[in-house]
């Protein structure tokens, strides 16, 4: 189970760093735009989580947040068949999924005129 931290101030260190542990800092916002801005206000971007009843909002926010993986209405997002990886200072490239093998392939371009 995660440790839930309620009413975390917007300038709290835990909201700016990449915490590898079961911690859920909760902070408030008034508009969707404010929530997206707060989520993106970090140099990290491994994963983001969205909880909503609106499919339109889920898709809109999932596209807007700067994270390599986004979970919608679920806590576990890792899957062996899906690419795993972040953006920003959370890493480059992907492990798993069909994208994970690309680092091990050599691409060759051959231009040929008969």
Tens-place pLDDT, residues 41-52: 999 999 999 999
Q: Which long-range contacts (CB under 8 A, 24 or more apart) does 79-87 make?
A: 85/46, 86/44, 86/45, 86/46, 86/47, 87/45
Q: What is the pLDDT of residues 28-43, one digit of tens each?
A: 999 999 999 999 999 9
Q: Residue 47's domain spans which residues?
A: 3-104
Q: Following DSSP, what letter does each residue of 41-71 receive, concatenated?
A: SSSEESEEEE--S-HHHHHHHHHHS--SEEE
Position 19 in a domain = yes
CATH number of the domain encompassing residue 43: 3.40.309.10
- 53 in a structural domain: yes
Number of structural domains in the chain: 1
42, part of any domain: yes
**Could you read off the pLDDT tens digit of each residue along the chain, which spans 114 residues?**
889 999 999 999 999 999 999 999 999 999 999 999 999 999 999 999 999 999 999 999 999 999 999 999 998 999 988 999 999 999 888 888 888 888 888 888 888 888
The answer to whether residue 114 is domain-embedded is no
């Amino acid at each position: 189970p995660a440790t839930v931290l309620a009413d975390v101030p917007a300038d709290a260190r835990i909201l700016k760093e990449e915490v590898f542990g079961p911690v859920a800092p909760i902070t408030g916002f008034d508009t969707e735009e404010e929530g997206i801005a707060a989520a993106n206000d970090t140099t990290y971007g491994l994963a983001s989580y969205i909880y909503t009843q609106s499919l339109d909002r889920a898709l809109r926010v999932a596209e807007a947040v700067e994270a390599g993986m986004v979970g919608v209405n679920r806590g576990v997002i890792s899957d062996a068949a899906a690419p795993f990886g972040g953006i920003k200072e959370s890493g480059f490239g992907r492990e798993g999924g069909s994208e994970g093998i690309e680092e091990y392939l050599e691409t060759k371009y051959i231009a040929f005129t008969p």
